[in-house]
Amino acid sequence: MSNIEQEINKRRTFAIISHPDAGKTTLTEKFLLYGGAINLAGSVKGKATARHAVSDWMEIEKERGISVTSSVLQFNYDGYCINILDTPGHQDFSEDTYRTLMAADSAVMVIDGAKGVEPQTRKLFKVCGMRGIPIFTFINKMDRDANDTFELLDEIEKELGIATCPINWPIGCGKVFKGVYDRQKREVVTYSDTEKGTKEGETSIISIDDEDKVTAAIGEERKSILFDEIELLDGASAEYDLDAIQSGKLTPVFFGSALTNFGVEIFLQYFLKMTTTPLPRKSGDNMIDPVKNDFSAFVFKIQANMNKAHRDRIAFMRICSGKYDANMEVKHVQGGKTMRLSRPQQIMADERKILDEAYGGDIIGVFDPGIFSIGDTLCMPKDNIKYEGIPTFAPEHFARVRQIDTMKRKQFIKGVTQIAQEGAIQIFQEYNTGMEEIIVGVVGVLQFEVLKYRLENEYNVEIRLEPLPYEHIRWIVSYDTELDKIVGTSDMKKIKDLKDRPLLLFINEWSVGMTLDRNKGLELSEFGT
Ligand code: G4P
């Protein structure tokens, strides 16, 4: 096996998704702890403070102590080279959160055992589903009182429409959380109390057939509950099926507690075995193989002004195949030019590292003099690869935007257009009047602030944002009649994008359904192309 093949085969690139506060950061820290990347969890991504100290990114980020970008963490564990893509949540939830999922080969979904499926998880899940990537569920906070375990599984199946297969099973929860039962190995794994943030706690492993020992470890009552539950599970839950997992049809479910480290390493070990090596990607009618093909990559995110002194932009790209060597000449397919990627970097949560080489599965950040767009392909000059574009995700917040000083019309249009090209916002026009009125759509409301801040600081234009009540946007896939004849609800608004394609805005989901009912042959989509 060649060195490149070895390097690519040991890579596992996944995104970690959750509703805010479910425990994504804590779980990531524990992964790093096992990988030896840090000694004591908590030191890498301590919420606001650590990020302040190291990041010279946008002022807004500093002021609010939040990260506007998603970051990448790379570490080694048990012979694997793992890339974790963090997806921004909270107020900084944005289209980037979705785009990050386009760069991952699988997703780990963290769910709070006491809360079950929450809105943000649902949205992210939809995007994973669209790509059919494997999804692994970690039900967290079992050290606290959690919902009924069977009900949690039911909720995932119903709400997210995916079959579940528990790989381990919790033994109690809250104060009586004793550990987990590993269904494949048929072993009870109990944990002694671990100190918060270390991996030193003792575990003991007992075969389920050794009933006396199991009773001694977890008590008679818990043992008999466990035995009943195992029987129920074996009869009722979906069977373990690796193909179904890898095609995103079945989610393996794990229980544990990131905070106290219960069940984290078992999860990591199974996850690494079940998730895939870097997946082939589609270019036209061909599948580009990560190992057989030479270097290729696509841009999934552009971050502006990460360092104000240099007014630079960084294009984040996912390497899809082959090896990248420093200073190698590559072709930027959409620009039709060959170029050298200057100073490729790996952007970690707390540092930037200049890279000499990187492989299929890795994420690199490259200085962008303003030539890249989201979805662009890079490959070797001899090759003809063009990856499918990244879809446009439905914004959920809309505002009419006007410049305060009418003399600054030109800068204003230039500013909003450029910021929209970077993919931070989407801009639309009134259906009939055109560019005089601009409507901005964003996935997360923070993007409005980013827009205002950047127009003032970079383009010297002050703006006024007038929020609009719409929350649902639909691209029109097909319709039989003329657009003017579409019979909508009273809250429906027609707009168009910069390519003059018509779109519909609605205040509520119900109106979307009504409009579909009233117009035979009308097909709407939540994703643009
Ligand atoms: P997020 O990235 O998904 O937003 O969640 P994060 O890890 O920041 O966790 C949110 C809160 O939940 C934190 O508490 C964290 O300590 C706690 N938590 C995470 N995993 C577990 C778990 O397994 N059990 C319990 N009981 N709590 C857990 P916080 O008080 O908001 O923050 P902190 O002061 O502890 O950092």
- Vertex 420, ends 446 and 89: CA angle to 5°? 30
What pLDDT is recorded for position 67? 40
Ligand 1: residues within 6 Å at CB? 18, 20-26, 89, 140-141, 143-144, 257-259
Give per-residue pLDDT as tens, 459-476. Answer: 899 999 999 999 999 988
What pLDDT is recorded for position 131? 85
393 or 14, which is more confident? Answer: 14
What pLDDT is recorded for position 352? 58
What pLDDT is recorded for position 70? 46
Nearest CA to ligand 1 atom 30: 21
Residue 442: pLDDT over 80: yes
C-alpha closest to that of 388 among 188, 265, 529: 529
d(CA 177, CA 164): 22
pTM of the model: 0.84
d(CA 426, CA 431): 15
HSE-CB for 391 with a 13 A CA cutoff = 15
Give per-residue pLDDT as tens, 15-65. Answer: 998 888 899 888 988 888 887 755 443 334 444 333 333 333 344 444 443
Give per-residue pLDDT as tens, 221-231. Answer: 999 999 999 99
What pLDDT is recorded for position 52? 33
Give per-residue pLDDT as tens, 94-141. Answer: 787 888 889 999 999 999 999 999 888 888 888 888 888 999 999 999
Residue 243: pLDDT over 90: yes
Phi, psi of 353 (to 5 degrees): -125, 130
Rounded to the nearest angstrom, the distance between the alpha carbon of 486 and the centre of ligand 1 is: 48
Rounded to the nearest angstrom, the distance between the alpha carbon of 176 and the centre of ligand 1 is: 20
C-alpha 371: how far from chain center: 25
Nearest CA to ligand 1 atom 28: 259
Residue 150: pLDDT over 90: yes
Domains with residue ranges and CATH for the chain: 13-67+87-274 (3.40.50.300), 281-379 (2.40.30.10), 397-525 (3.30.70.3280)
What pLDDT is recorded for position 295? 97
Band of the pLDDT at 432, cuts 50, 70, 90? confident
Pocket test for ligand 1, best of 17, 18, 21 (most atoms within 8 A of CB): 21
Q: Which residues of 431-459 are buried (b: 16+ CB within 10 A; e: fewer)?
A: beeeeeebbbbbbbebbbbbbbebbeebb
Q: What number does the ligand 1 atom closest to the CA of 90 have?
A: 4
86 or 219, which is more confident? Answer: 219
